[in-house]
Amino acid sequence: MKIKFLLFLPAILLLFSGCRPQQQGTVLKLAHGLDPSHPVHSAMVFMADRCSEISGGELSIEIYPSGQLGSEQQCVELLQIGSLAITKVSAAVMESFTEDFKVLGLPYVFKSKEHSFKVLDGEIGDELLMSAEPFWIRGLCFYDAGSRSFYTIDKPINHPDDLKGLKIRVMKSITAMEMVKAQGGSPTPISWGELYTALQSGVVDGAENNPPSFYTSHHYEVCKYYSLNEHTMVPDVLIVSLKMWEKLSEQEKNWLQQAADESVAIERKLWAESEKESLEIVQEEGVTIIYPDKEPFANKVTDLLESYRDNERLYDLITRIRKVE
């Protein structure tokens, strides 16, 4: 029994030392589920290096990728109790903590990628990052996670009418289901890990996601049409444990926030390169890339956006986002 305990002791210590002071300074643990080749991971590495640099080694970040310390949900739970310092989640995940984040998953709420950056980098973005503090979560910054678009097995999507009768895989999100339904498709929630088989066996006719995900998942092997209608631009969010944050000195907080802010520009550049490369590769593999007129798709979800008029807080966010120039 003693041998077994000793074998598991390093893992136990690793999980429950999310932030520890050492002789050389404070060390923060950052865990996430992405592969080390992912642009978001590369941005985090930059953040860790920059944090050590500007603090003179007094504040450092240890990164554990590929789900080493648990799933996305487990990392969030460890963060809430203060056993993990930092993790990365989709903004869609944050909806379960604060309804404010729901606005980022609404279709065509952003006019363009540049518009989304202005919103996320401004006052509205700051409000959203702070909105989960009652749940012991504080946002550090937003990372670009691209635009989600439809891809299908054997039917091109040039217009929303082409979605009629098609079963489209969506995340287990009410917003995503409403969006597909409004455009004429039949939303079908399926876990990401089961989607390749579902496409291959015809359980669903297509799905929706960003170009790097379409490529790295190998869904292009089954789906030969990718329509870049870009209906949603749901960002990733880098979040820090509020319990950990409150243990940091003001100087340490400034160092961490500065490093996170500087990593945003790096991540956006890496993401853009990844999107371009992904589209080039899938096209070489026989996928037809379609650039449809987005207006008919946007018109289809007008009623969906207006349905939030009764929700004072969300509709206020929608209105303010639309006014950002």
- Reported as a single tens digit per residue, the pLDDT across 287-315 is 999 999 999 999 999 999 999 999 999 99
Same domain, 163 and 284: yes
Strand partners, 141: 238
Same domain, 48 and 175: no
Question: Are residues 224 and 164 located together in one domain of the fold?
Answer: yes
Q: Are residues 87 and 176 in the same domain?
A: no
E-strand ranges in the chain read: 19-22, 25-31, 59-64, 86-90, 137-143, 148-152, 167-170, 186-189, 206-209, 225-232, 236-241, 288-290
pLDDT given at position 19: 53
Residue 86 has pLDDT above 60, yes or no: yes
Note whether 262 and 293 are same-domain residues: no
The CATH number for 55's domain is 3.40.190.170
User: In this predicted structure, what is the pLDDT of residue 16?
Assistant: 44
| pLDDT tens digits along 61-72 | 999 998 899 988
The verdict on 240 and 229 lying in the same domain is no
For residues 263 and 197, state if they share a domain. no
Residues 64 and 179 in one domain: no
CA–CA distance, 97 with 137 (Å, rounded to integer):
9
Task: Say if residue 301 is in the same domain as residue 169.
Answer: yes
pLDDT at position 9 over 80: no
Rounded to whole angstroms, the Cα distance separating 25 from 206 reads 50
Percent of the chain at pLDDT exceeding 90: 82
Number of domains in the chain: 2
pTM, whole model, 2 decimals? 0.86
Residues 89 and 194 in one domain: no
**What is the band of 113 on the pLDDT scale with cuts at 50, 70, 90?**
very high
- Looking at residue 202, its amino acid is G
The domain of 171 spans 148-233+280-323
In a domain, 107, yes or no: no
**Residue whose token pair is 């700051």:** 126
Enumerate the β-bridge partners of residue 31: 64, 87
Q: Same structural domain for residues 65 and 7?
A: yes
